[in-house]
Every structure is written in structure tokens, then in C-alpha cells.
Amino acid sequence: MDDTSQLPDLDDLLERMHVVAIPLDTRFRGQTVRELALFDGPRGWTEFSPFPEYGDAEASSWLRAAVDFGWHELPAAREGCTSIRVNATLPAVPADDVERVLARYDGCRTVKVKVAERGQTLDDDIARVRRARELLGAEGRVRIDANGGWNIDEAEHAIRSLAEFDLEYVEQPCASVEELVEIRERVGESLGIPIAADESVRKAEDPIAVARAGAADLIVVKAQPLGGVARALGIVAEAGLPAVVSSALESSVGIAMGAHLAAALPELDYDCGLATVDLFTGDVVAPGESLVPRGGTIPVERPRVDPALLETHRATDARRQWWAERVTRTHAHLAR
């Protein structure tokens, strides 16, 4: 969407905007309530939900994605692809809470376990991963996500300590591309555990740098942070690496964007991190239509937003004004 003629007028965006605040079931990324801006676009509902701390330049990619999904035609899905297999997401909860959290994910054969949480220890991570492996059994798939929280030595020690749980891959063990290169050399080949890059793709000025440096075996792509479905597909094609699609703690509307991205990938070898609606205590679509996993999958469709739920979760007028000002600034950034 580099052609600004494709960008809706600001007044049109603001007229179509609804802002909601939905409590989370479990603290996630330091948040207990998630605020989202939704637009009733010409092609269907779409979502703009960059995290509050993100600056306008970074948030503008999220607005680009929202416009792309709500105003423009989407790339075609793979032939016959009508649903996407998804993984459970396990926040950095105590081991005693693992079973309760995973019980919400119907039929999921894969779990992504958050590790390297600030204020916790490696022993906490080991206990959490061990419990997840016990519940999934030998045939289940366990992957871990450190969100760049380890330095190289910490990452090597942690990965070696967790390797006994047959990890599918380790996501973003370290923050920088250079660190990912080294940790992949230290443990990737010797342990046979793939290294995945997330933040090094979606938060990078050059999202292909991680592939060019040989820093990862696969990449994690998210539709909103990368500017929409078409742009994310282009990044995957240029990177030339296997991809897994993940979400950014979105409502069913944002999850639908991710599902359409996953369906449009030429190949998809991994279960996708698109089951995060289960981390909310509510949604903006009716419970029977919410994009939560059923039998381990979610459908590739646009959910219908329920006006009553928009009202139930309506944000305060002050917060709506905050989001209106944010949309105004990011719209101006895209229009330059």
C-alpha cells in the first residue's frame, strides 16, 4: 500500500472505528486488559491493535495491515485450504497452572511455552515445560519462546537444560541477529533443535536480514506488524525459509487476518500461533463464532462482529479519544 491513493480518508477511518477493552484471563506481556481498535471496512471487519508502548512509525505498519484487510482484495488461499491447525499458547504461569490453561485449547497437539520471563528462573521454565510435555505426551509438540530474553550464554544453558523435552524449535532465544547466529552455531546443529526468529523479523528495519545472516531455520510472521497479508507473503518468499504464522494478542477479527495469511502461504509445515483468543475473557464475536480452536483448528473466514459485544466491551470515551489521536498520527505517517 505504498500508493497513498489506496489509503482511506482519515475521516472515513474514524467514522468506522470502534474501540474495545477486553480483560485477559491470564497476565500476558505485562497486560491484564487488551485494548483494540476495530473498523467496519468495505470488505469486512478489520483490526488495528499495536501495543500501547509502540511508537507511531512502528504502529503505522499495523494500520497499513488493518486497511489492507478491510478495504482491499486478499491474496488467494492454497487450493482446498479452509482451516488452519493452531497451537496452544502457555504464558509464564506456575507449573501447577499449566493444566488449567491448556484445557482451554480443544484438540491442539502443539503448545508454545513462554520462557525467560523477567523475575522468574530457569527452574520455573523447566517445571513449566516439563508439565506441558507430560500433558501432551510423547506425540505432542512443544516449542518455547524466550522473546529475546536471554543473552548467548544464558540461551545455551537454558536450551541444553530444556532439550530433554524434545523441543520442536526455540523461538527468539536472543534479541539480536548476531546473537541468533552464534546460538544457532552453538546448539542448533549439535542438538538438532531449530532456531526460529520472530522479533528479528517483525521489529526489524530489514526483516530479511535474519535469513541473509543464516540466523534462523524458520521465521515467525504476523500479519499486523508486517503491514498486512500481502506484505507478509512477500517477506516469506524473499526470506526463503519455512514460516509459521502467529498472532499479536488479537480479537477474532485480528486472528482472521492471520488465518488468511496462513492459508495463502505456498507451504505450511507448522501449527500456527493463532489460538490466542483463548487468553481473553471475552470477544467481539458471538461465542459460537469466535475463532478459538475446535479440534485443533480455526476456520479461514471473516467472523461477524456482534454489536452487543462491541457495546459490552466498549472502551471509555477517554481511551477512544486516545486511539483516535493514534490513528490520526499513524494515518499521517502512511500518507507522507
Asked about 112 being catalytic, the answer comes back as no
Which one of the listed residues 85, 133, 222, 231 is annotated catalytic?
222
Cite the beta strand spans of 146-291 per DSSP E.
167-171, 195-197, 218-221, 243-245
Residue 28 phi/psi, 5-degree rounding, is -145, 125
Which one of the listed residues 34, 112, 114, 302 is annotated catalytic?
114
**Using an 8 Å Cβ cutoff, are 144 and 122 in contact?**
no
Cα separation, 263 vs 266, in Å, equals 8
Residue 40 marked in a binding site: no
What is the residue whose three cell numbers read 549439535? 190
CA dihedral 61, 65, 70, 71 (to 10 degrees): 70
Give every CB contact of residue 286 below 8 A, 6+ residues apart in sequence. Answer: 304, 306, 309
Cα separation, 111 vs 129, in Å, equals 10
Residue 198 marked in a binding site: yes
Q: Of 73, 71, 62, which is closest to residue 331 (Cα–Cα)?
A: 62
Residue 153 marked in a binding site: no
Q: Cβ of 1: how many Cβ atoms within 10 Å?
A: 18
**Using an 8 Å Cβ cutoff, are 130 and 153 in contact?**
no
Lookup: cell for 313: 466491551
Asked about 114 being catalytic, the answer comes back as yes
Beta strand 243-245 with 218-221 is parallel
Lookup: cell for 165: 523435552
* Residue stretches of the annotated binding site: 145, 171, 198
Which residues are known to be catalytic? Answer: 114, 222
Q: Binding site for Mg(2+), residues?
A: 145, 171, 198
